Amino acid sequence: MPKKLRVRVMTDQEIEIIRRTAHARTEAARKVERAAMIWLSHEGKTVPAIAETLHVDAVTVRLWLKRFNAHGVEGLEDAPRAGRPAKYTPEEVGDVIAAALSKPQDLGLPFASWTLDRLEVYLNEQKGIAIKRSRIDDLLLSEGLRWRKQETWFGERVDPDFAEKRGPLPNSTKRRPPAA
């Protein structure tokens, strides 16, 4: 008969952290579920009972009990995952951020504000960084920078001679005759 897996004896600090996390409403759902597994085991429930209560597989419960027993509260965090290495060097990421934070006119460009498309062209042609606009957006978001739309229908235009350059507007609707 296999040995019953139980959570190890926890310190008072670990008990408090696990209890708080298992009942948290603002923590990540994965972390709450993992803490709940530990908490239920601490209360004396068996692995099958925990699995049934939380609607997970018994193998999953065993995995997290073993991880907690080996590593403590830190064992409930996600382990680093294997994957494709970062494509851009820290220097290239720095160049992307620096370009996004600079004024295009200071770089000798003929426009007053960046768009992701303009930034992509600049980085590809001027800096020699082969990067797509979606990746630029990801890098800016990871640095805490939110992209905003520059174009607006309100306020003054960037180019004061816009109306003259645009030319006359086409007559798309016929004028109504004056009222009698």
Q: Is 34 helix (H, G, I), strand (E, B) or coil?
A: helix
Structure-derived torsion over alpha carbons of residues 78, 82, 84, 89, reported in degrees to the nearest 10: 70
The answer to whether the beta carbons of residues 99 and 122 sit under 8 Å apart is: yes
d(CA 175, CA 63): 76
Sequential pLDDT tens for the chain (180 residues): 456 888 999 999 999 999 999 999 999 999 999 999 999 999 999 999 999 999 999 999 999 999 999 999 999 998 887 887 768 888 999 999 999 999 998 988 888 888 889 999 999 999 999 999 889 988 888 888 876 655 555 555 567 787 788 777 777 667 778 887
Strands, E assignment, the chain: none
What pLDDT, on a 0 to 100 scale, did the predictor assign at position 148? 64
Nearby residues of 36 by Cβ (< 8 Å), 6 or more positions away? 22, 54
d(CA 98, CA 107): 11
